[in-house]
Structure 1
Amino acid sequence: MNLFDPSQIVVLENEKVLLRPLEETDFEHLLEFSLNEPEIWRYSLLQAGGEENLKKYIQIALAAKKLGREFPFIVFDKQQNRYAGSTRFYDIQLSYQTLQLGYTWYGKDFQGTGLNKQCKFLLLEFAFEKLGMERVEFRADNNNARSIAAMKSIGCTVEGVLRSHMPDSFGGRRDSIVLSILKKEWENGVRDKLKSKLS
């Protein structure tokens, strides 16, 4: 499957969540988070707190999609019947059969509800079983304990820490933790274990 084929609309969903391609008009759906919950992006390299930052955030994501480097989604929580946040595939290396999964954030009302596991299952299933990826990588600020715990809980293996890897959003440098799931790990237990955690 060609992720960037305009004739194929990539929608991932189950009974609890729907992920569809992010569009410029989704600014309206995400603005409440940007205005009221700017702390969501505390550890993010791309800040989306505030109206102008959110516009830039969406524009940057869509520009990267046009170049075939990223594929951003908006997340809709069917349980609450509300838009919940965003996530994306990025650093997509089709020739190497690898990509990264990240830029994931949800509003406070959706954190700790199980929504993240629902999304990650659909995204990983799609990456390994439809796109034929051999490796899905995750990265985070090494100080972001909540994000690291979430990645470990879905079956990621910690590979190490890249020291002073990149600038952080506070004018300093951040250490980035690297985690991953391999296709053989997905097939040999990670998929079933994650599926068993969906409620």
Structure 2
Amino acid sequence: MNDIFDPKRDYVLENDSALLRPVTAADFELLKNFGVNEPELWKFTLQNAGSEEGMRQYLETALERREKGTSYPFIVFDKIKNEYAGSTRLYDIDSASKNLSLGYTWYGKNFQGTGLNKHCKYLLFEFIFEQLEFERVEFRLDSENERSMQAIKSIGCTFEGVLRNNGYRIDGTRRNSAVLSILKNEWLESKKELLSNKINKV
């Protein structure tokens, strides 16, 4: 389709299991309980949303970065459970080079391991590679976050290496960041079918 990415436009991604729409300030009311009641969600994150005020600041930062055109945050709705489940974000968006990063992804514990993440990634990859025609999606995560590492590998991404001591955890300690990626040609040639088969089994 070769759509030109417009951070001011409201993109909605949807299938039978998941719906992703742009985050708004009003979504604080839908997400604040995750901040208050599930502090373990933020163990490996770069921004601590593990309180009511933390979630408010988390969303404010996401919206500020969307306004600048560098990020595009989504809220995730689980259509099977009929509940809001979490959030994910496109960031470091480089339209000239057709590269972006995908992260700031979290789901409440009741939505983990249900297949929701795979549905969301399918929708996102389809959007990024087929509608926007970007060439590369990168993931960066704490190298100690084994759960997320396996989840990203399971959707067809390739481990590239580790950026040593390149950022701070929310507790102030330094972290190593693992880097994984998936390319447009990989998606079109094989990874789309791989992920489609996975979500159809869920």
Question: TM-score category by the smaller chain?
Answer: over 0.9
What amino acid is aligned across from residue 191 of structure 2 in structure 1?
V
Indicate if the aligned counterparts of 1:3 and 1:10 stay in contact, CA closer than 8 A: no
Distance in 1 separating the partners of 2:188 and 2:101: 18
Indicate if the aligned counterparts of 1:161 and 1:176 stay in contact, CA closer than 8 A: yes
Offset at 1:167? Answer: 1.3
RMSD: 0.9
What amino acid is aligned across from residue 48 of structure 1 in structure 2?
A
Q: Secondary structure at the match of 1:122?
A: helix
Distance in 2 separating the partners of 1:62 and 1:31: 16
What amino acid is aligned across from residue 161 of structure 1 in structure 2?
V
Indicate if the aligned counterparts of 2:33 and 2:52 stay in contact, CA closer than 8 A: no
- Paired position in structure 2 for 1:179: 180
Q: Secondary structure at the match of 1:149?
A: helix
Indicate if the aligned counterparts of 1:100 and 1:137 stay in contact, CA closer than 8 A: yes
- Paired position in structure 1 for 2:6: 4
Q: Secondary structure at the match of 2:4?
A: coil
TM-score if structure 1 supplies the norm length? 0.97
Q: Secondary structure at the match of 2:141?
A: strand
Distance in 1 separating the partners of 2:20 and 2:172: 33
Q: Within 5 A, what are the aligned runs for 1:37-186?
A: 37-186=38-187
TM-score if structure 2 supplies the norm length? 0.96
Offset at 1:40? Answer: 0.3
Runs of at least 4 residues off by over 2 Å: 1-6
Give the 3 Å change call, closer, same or farther, for CA 72–109 of structure 1 in structure 2. Answer: same
Distance in 2 separating the partners of 1:155 and 1:131: 20
Indicate if the aligned counterparts of 2:7 and 2:66 stay in contact, CA closer than 8 A: no
Distance in 2 separating the partners of 1:194 and 1:80: 21
Indicate if the aligned counterparts of 1:33 and 1:107 stay in contact, CA closer than 8 A: yes
| Structure 1 unaligned residues grouped into runs of 5+ | none
Offset at 1:5? Answer: 5.6
Q: Secondary structure at the match of 1:169?
A: coil
Identity over the aligned pairs, expressed in percent? 54
Distance in 2 separating the partners of 1:21 and 1:93: 19
What amino acid is aligned across from residue 179 of structure 1 in structure 2?
L
What amino acid is aligned across from residue 4 of structure 2 in structure 1?
N
Indicate if the aligned counterparts of 2:7 and 2:67 stay in contact, CA closer than 8 A: no
Distance in 1 separating the partners of 2:147 and 2:194: 20
Residues 118-176 of structure 1: per-residue CA shift (max 9 Å, x gap):
00000011000011100000010000000000000000000000010111112211000
Indicate if the aligned counterparts of 1:34 and 1:51 stay in contact, CA closer than 8 A: yes
Give the 3 Å change call, closer, same or farther, for CA 63–187 of structure 1 in structure 2. Answer: same
Q: Secondary structure at the match of 2:163?
A: strand
